Structure 1
Amino acid sequence: MRTLLITGPGGSGRTTVASATALKAARQGLRTRLVTGDAVEDLPGVTVTRLAPADDFRDDLVALQERAGSALDLLGAARLDADELTPLPGSEELALLRALRDAPDDRYDLVVVDLPPAPRAVSILALPEQLRRYLRRLLPAERQAARALRPVLGRLAGVPMPAEWLYETAARWDSELAAAQAVIDAGSTLVRFVAEPTLAAAETLRTTRTGLALHGLRLEAVLANRVLPDGSTDPWLADAAARQRKVIAGWEQGAYEIAHLGRDARPADLDVPLPGSAAGPVAWPVEDRLRADGVLVWRIPLPGAVREELTLIRRGDELVVGAGPFRRIVPLPSAPRRCTVAGAGLVDGELCVRFAPDPDLWPQTP
């Protein structure tokens, strides 16, 4: 089974393109599912899953109240009724992560996921890794060994201890986030970018490509939507088409073009490509240049990155890498952990971080 993630600027037609892709796949005989947060028409042969963040949020909060019932009663808290709950910011993101968690399904050959607009979509794809890191810091696994003592401490203190359900909830969240992250990181997962060829879209594409690479993802294809025909005798249309051509020519990996129909398009109207083969995650190799230059070089591909937008901080055995609006905290490979940072530079779309061996930590040659 393959998963196809589709994003692009708001108003670019990404939902219609996602629907068209799912419809074409179904017509080619693939068992296809479309996941979307927007209202879309039913598609012949496609199982359409519409996200319901309001319902998910309501169910989660009601369940949380039940688990924390004793503590809430002790505090004299008035519980909320399900019909008075409205979704808070973030509920849409959590609903999407649940959909990604549930994407693996032997009933389908292809799952098309209509992501929110870029570059926000990149931040959502980064959430599972980030939230799991927060959980490990706030509720480290080594402290859970004392969980058996908590009921005893609760009886001695005469106060209900919510720690047991807290740890159980954290473990469940970690498991669900890990499942979503496994789908995002899978070699069978592809990412596509849909946009009208404008200068603003070109900048969004650059930022999105950099953010995806920072989190180990790469674009499988760029789809230029609503492309005007060449050769028009109308001066305005000819000029607009020329400007689109100039933008497309500047896109690094080129683009598959979807013609402008002169009206609002329906999924059945669009000629879109089916997903190709996955190229796999972006590799971050460590180059051994100890003999030549006395350093190790960690090569971090960041296509589209701008030097002035990059930040780099070492925190113990972790490296904090920032690129524009995105940031990722990654553990250092084993060899660089025994080194000090000797410098860094952006070369041809790669952030090259140099590490010099620390005499106090580096193995000494006899």
Structure 2
Amino acid sequence: MRTVLITGPGGSGRTTIAAATALQAARQGKRTLLLSADRTDTPGAALGKPTGPTPADAEPHLTTWRPDSGEDFRDDLLAFQERAASALDLLGATRLEAEELTPLPGAEELALLRALRDAATADTYELLIVDLPPTPQALALLALPEQLRRYLSRLLPAERQAARALRPVLGRLAGVPMPTDRLYETAARWDLELAAVAAVLADRTTTVRLVAEPGPAGTDALRTATTGLALRGLRADALVANRVLPDASPDTWLAGLAAQQRKALDEWRGTYEVCEVSHLGRDPRGTDDLTALTVPGAGQAPRPVEWPMTDQLATDGVIVWHIPLPGAIRDDLDLIRRGDELVVTVGPFHRIVPLPSALRRCTVQGAALRDGELRIRFAPDPELWPQER
């Protein structure tokens, strides 16, 4: 199944483009699911049929789904209370009831990730269109599975389960209950769920589609989005330039806006595969308006993506690690090696990357940002590499 993640700056029309893309694919005969976490149900307004908390048919071959983050949050928190009952009783905590629970910030994103995993593994659809939040929130959302898995592995390492026979003794010595098997089982289940989401995002058939309105603000937002996606190992397969005005207009004010848009479009074509979507003169509502929007097809085979890429050993014995970071600025780049990990920070984006086993036995000799790539030089550590005889 092909997965297309659609995002863009707030107000760029990304949800409408997602609905139009899904409708176009469905009318071409592809079994398509449009997945969205938009709390105002913009996809439903665009399609002329409300979306709900369970998958429902909107048209032949087209299914829509807007997960209910409130229900998922209540179920998860109540289940956690049950699993942590002994610790809560020890602390004298008062249990929360289902009726008093309301979703906390972030619940919508977690519900969307869970729905993304379920939809991608259901083997029911040929195409999954995901209406992501605006770009800053979308990039944080895409980073979440990897970050949470790392937190779990640090807080509850799987190898500690080997000491389960000693827990009663340790509990008596410490005077407090020790983590139970159920806690580790829960952590393992969460890790599997997060790994499934990460696998969907890392799949070579998963791509990102950016939506932006041509202009200076759109250009700045795209540059930031491209860098953030690259740091996550993702790429945009197309850029939808939305609400493009006609070139010829007797109105000098509209003509000036159109000229500004054309300048931005010319700049974008040097970096992206651009698809122009004309301004309808109104907010699209209903399938007739969505059909009038010409959006890029979602069926083409994506190019494989490698991140990061490691060169072969150079003649001077140095290994060069290439990390694609298009749009990155040298002054916004920070690089730290911490043990067997590399901490890469680009502007507001941050990622901790485990080093391959070969590079763990090397020392960092330097790094440079060239042609949209971060190139890190590693020299083998003589004390860790086998010596030739």
TM (normalized to structure 1)? 0.95
Q: How does 1:1-366 map to 2 (within 5 A)?
A: 1-38=1-38, 39=41, 40-41=43-44, 42=49, 43-45=58-60, 46-104=62-120, 105-150=122-167, 161-251=178-268, 252-266=271-285, 267-275=290-298, 276-291=300-315, 293-366=316-389
Quick one: distance in 2 between partners of 1:68 and 1:317?
33
Counterpart AA for 1:44: E
Question: How far apart are 1:193 and its partner, in Å?
Answer: 0.3
Query: Mean Cα displacement is larger for which, 261-270 or 132-141?
Result: 261-270
Counterpart AA for 2:84: A
Q: 1:316 to 1:23 in 2, by over 3 A?
A: same
Quick one: distance in 1 between partners of 2:123 and 2:25?
16
Of all paired residues, the percent bearing the same amino acid is: 65
Quick one: distance in 2 between partners of 1:310 and 1:156?
48
Map Cα deviations across residues 259-305 of structure 1 (whole Å, 9 max, x no partner): 001101133432212212122233322223532x4421111111111
Question: How far apart are 1:151 and its partner, in Å?
Answer: 5.4
Map Cα deviations across residues 85-109 of structure 1 (whole Å, 9 max, x no partner): 1111111121111012112222111
Q: State the 4+ residue runs in structure 1 displaced beyond 4 angstroms.
A: 151-162
Question: How far apart are 1:51 and its partner, in Å?
Answer: 2.1
TM (normalized to structure 2)? 0.89
Counterpart AA for 2:14: R
Quick one: distance in 1 between partners of 2:154 and 2:387?
34
Quick one: distance in 2 between partners of 1:168 and 1:335?
33
Question: How far apart are 1:152 and its partner, in Å?
Answer: 6.7
Map Cα deviations across residues 18-76 of structure 1 (whole Å, 9 max, x no partner): 01111111111111111101213233232111021111111111111122223323333
Question: How far apart are 1:147 and its partner, in Å?
Answer: 2.4
Stretches of structure 2 that go unaligned for 5 or more consecutive residues are: 50-57
Question: How far apart are 1:362 and its partner, in Å?
Answer: 2.5
Task: Number of aligned residue pairs: give it.
Answer: 365
SS of residue matched to 2:241: strand
Q: 1:295 to 1:74 in 2, by over 3 A?
A: closer
Quick one: distance in 1 between partners of 2:273 and 2:126?
27
RMSD of aligned Cα (Å): 1.8
Quick one: distance in 1 between partners of 2:383 and 2:211?
51
Preserved contact between residue 183 and residue 189 of structure 1 (Cα < 8 Å): yes
Question: How far apart are 1:313 and its partner, in Å?
Answer: 0.3
Counterpart AA for 1:81: E
Q: 1:356 to 1:159 in 2, by over 3 A?
A: closer
Preserved contact between residue 206 and residue 304 of structure 1 (Cα < 8 Å): yes
Quick one: distance in 1 between partners of 2:119 and 2:357?
33
Quick one: distance in 1 between partners of 2:366 and 2:31?
50
